[in-house]
Amino acid sequence: MRLRTTSRNRVMGRETPSLFALLLLTVHQKQIFGSSLAERLNCGPGDAAPHTRVNTTQRLQAFRAALASVRVDSRPLSAFIVGSADAHNSEYPTAYDQRRGYISGFQGSAGTAVITATKAALWTDGRYFLEAEDTLDCNWILMKSGLSSTPSITDWLNSELTTAGELVGVDKSLTSHASFVSTRDTLKGLSKRAELTAVDSTDNPVDKTWTEGRPTQPTGTINALELKFAGVRWQEKIINLRSNLTAKNAGAFVVTSLDELAWLFNLRGTDIDYNPFFLGYAIVELNRIRFYVLNKDTRLTSQPTDPATTTTFSSHLGTRSDGSCEGMTALCVEVRNYNQTSLEHDLRVLASTTNVWITHEASYGIYAAVENNRTTDRSPIALDKSRKNPVERAGMQTSYNRDSAALIRFLAFLEREIKEGRHWTEVSAARELDKRRRQLDYNRGLSFDTISGYGSNGAIIHYRPSNATDKKIATDSLYLLDSGGQYLDGTTDTTRTLHYGTPTSYQKECYTRVLMSAINLATLRWPSGLYGSQIDALARYQLWDVGLVYRHGTGHGVGAYLSVHEGPGRISMLGLSRSPSEEPLTTFQYYSDEPGYYEDGSFGVRLETVLTVEPFTSKYNTSGEEFLQFTPVALVPFEVSLIDFSLLNRQQVAWLNFYNSKIRVTILPLLSGDQLATDWLNARTQPFSTLEAGPNTANGHSASQGIMAALALVLIVTFIS
């Protein structure tokens, strides 16, 4: 929704948003963005298609021919679902596994394609509406998830299929058990009673037709992560996992998530861009460990490629060069070749004698292999991984200090360059920052592809600059920069929005309201046990109050030299329903705090600061409950020229002063010798006295925030009822 009102209307009622309106927005979330599904742009007769669109005509022709040849119990498939994930349900698959990207041409990280004999449709969320419109050719229907008029995948299939009981296919290795069961049961309950069927990968139409130019599966070296970074020996993690198995009356746990595999064994790889992972599985039993990797013989005999370690992959696991165990102890690891068929065979044999624990995110193929004697539950590893140990916590803060200082140096440099009239573009700025980040201690690359968007490109939420879309960074609009690094001691992710000229009053208000939203979340204190969905609206209401929205979650978990997006918690009300694996927010987890606003065709604002969850000692605690609070970890100033201080309340100014003081104390010493960066930081972190700071704000938190408490109560009641 685009806001086109007077300045007076935009700021009315800023201190007291309507709780009734917020409740309606929370309960009826699908109607928040309530416009009808628009027709595809530039797809009419004589229209010129954008040069960014990918021609998929021949790909779809080959796909449909392959689909027509597949039979399940002699029955044909009428449609096929192509998701984004790989066999590990990864958010970021290898290039080899980007099947949905290949068949559709859309490369965003989230999306699902559904293809019938005559139509092709792609569902994606609000982060990617603009990008999908620009990259999908006119063979595709763009389904904007979250709009009230957008049908679900199951409803659309029900309307497109012509007869009852038609088969819809999905690759059994590429869909999670939870997703398969949900889709299957929903389709069965609709009027056409379509049947979802899981097919072998050999029958996947994408794999059958993607024969030219397909990347190979990666098999880079697997390196040990030394104890000074990991904090806990992998053997201790295995012992803890086995105690969970015993408590669950299970004899084995199947590790399918790549981040869990890397964390559990203190190993890191290079198989996936921006993520230090390697393709693999593990089966952990009470007295045996089996570990599956591609190209095992080469990897077991390779020397480490990371200069931070001299430990080989085989010696780290106590494994011989042929993959067999040394000593045959319960903590010795047998290394086997990564193969879906052999893994499923081993699980069938294992399930004949013991109870096997698999997660909801495991593939349907793995779930079906353990047909009997199985326990399906959330992963016992995910929560432990997200709660950083003392060594990881120290590393996260150190890596953020290092990264924040580098980002400040770059922002100071870029501002001078642009104001002196030198030519910088989205691409050249991103490359310069990337180069600087890679020179830092312990850096192991980027944590994601840098988002560098000027003007209208900043309104594309997950914009990736390219030579085809590159814009000059000028002085008449906003510049959004979202970037991060992978370090041996942490994973970083920070977003700031800048303006190198004179912003309009509307741009300042949008920026300020995003800042107010971020501060509202950062200052929250809450009783332990709340989910992120129950606090998400606290960030949004400052924007809702004037009719502004953003179509993405407010926060995601962050790993420690793992994935920049980490579960099992998140801060998002989008969709309302929780996944089976989601957990409440708890101590020593790390979350991004990143509200935003995006005006299509004009500009984007996002402010992202990573916070950690810590215990909070409240003034009163008659219930004996544990209370929690956020503490900022990323330390980069906000842009003072974009802040309208007349909109901020006393508590928000107090937190801003607290945050700026922390930046000066922590980061200024790291800028020694760089007067430009020092001056840039000092200019943005001076104490603000526009409003008098409220009482009891020594830690940047307000003692009483009645409007937030009331809203929290509304949301808690909503979710309980």
pLDDT digits (tens, 9 = 90+) for 568-583: 999 998 654 556 678 9
Residue 14 has pLDDT above 80, yes or no: no
Q: Say if domain 7-31+387-720 classifies as CATH 3.90.230.10.
A: yes
**Distance linking the first and last C-alpha atoms of the chain:** 29
Give the per-residue pLDDT at 711: 52
Percent of residues, the chain, with pLDDT higher than 70: 89
Give the per-residue pLDDT at 200: 92
Give the per-residue pLDDT at 46: 74
Higher-scoring residue by pLDDT: 523, 7? 523
| Sign of the Cα pseudo-torsion (699, 705, 708, 709, in order) | positive
Confidence of residue 259 (pLDDT cuts 50, 70, 90): very high
Q: How many CB atoms lie within 10 A of CB 698?
A: 9
Instruction: Say how far apart CA 21 and CA 13 lie, in whole Å.
Output: 13
User: Matching CATH topology for 57-209 and 223-386?
Assistant: yes
Mean pLDDT of 675-704: 69
Pairing of strands 609-616, 603-606: unpaired
Give the per-residue pLDDT at 575: 55
Pairing of strands 451-454, 478-483: antiparallel
Percent of residues, the chain, with pLDDT higher than 90: 79
Domain coordinates in residue numbering, the chain: 7-31+387-720, 57-209, 223-386
H or E segment and range at residue 484: none
Give the per-residue pLDDT at 175: 94
Say how far residue 246 (Cα) sits from the centre of its chain. 32
CA angle 388, 390, 394 (to 5 degrees): 95
Residues whose CB falls within 8 Å of the CB of residue 45, separated by 6 or more in sequence, listed in order: none
Residue 527 is classified by DSSP as E
The candidate with the shortest Cα–Cα distance to 551, out of 566, 572, 570, 531, is 572
Residue 6 has pLDDT above 80, yes or no: no
The pLDDT tens digits of the residues spanning 40-74 come to: 778 877 787 788 899 999 999 999 999 999 999 99
- What is the residue-averaged pLDDT of the chain? 89
The pLDDT tens digits of the residues spanning 181-221 come to: 999 999 999 988 999 999 999 999 999 999 999 999 998 99
Give the per-residue pLDDT at 39: 65
Lowest-confidence segment of 294-298, 435-439, 715-719 by average pLDDT? 715-719
Residue 174 is classified by DSSP as S
Lowest-confidence segment of 25-39, 74-88, 370-384, 503-517 by average pLDDT? 25-39
Contact 615, 587 (CB under 8 A): yes
Give the per-residue pLDDT at 696: 36
Say how far residue 28 (Cα) sits from the centre of its chain. 24
Contact 632, 608 (CB under 8 A): no
Give the per-residue pLDDT at 126: 83
Give the per-residue pLDDT at 718: 44
Its pTM stands at 0.88
Residue 709 has pLDDT above 80, yes or no: no
Contact 478, 605 (CB under 8 A): yes
Beta bridge partners of 525: 629
Contact 126, 33 (CB under 8 A): yes
- CATH code for residues 223-386: 3.40.350.10
Q: What kind of fold does domain 57-209 have according to CATH?
A: Creatine Amidinohydrolase; Chain A, domain 1 (3.40.350)
Mean pLDDT of 660-665: 98
Give the per-residue pLDDT at 94: 94
Residue 36 has pLDDT above 70, yes or no: no
H or E segment and range at residue 199: strand 195-199
Residue 702 has pLDDT above 90, yes or no: no
Q: Specify which of 196-200, 493-497, 713-717 reaches the highest per-range mean pLDDT.
A: 493-497
Lowest-confidence segment of 113-117, 212-216, 714-718 by average pLDDT? 714-718
Pairing of strands 112-116, 75-82: antiparallel
Mean pLDDT of 131-146: 91
The pLDDT tens digits of the residues spanning 399-431 come to: 999 999 999 999 999 999 999 999 999 999 999
Residue 719 has pLDDT above 50, yes or no: no
Give the per-residue pLDDT at 580: 67
Confidence of residue 593 (pLDDT cuts 50, 70, 90): very high
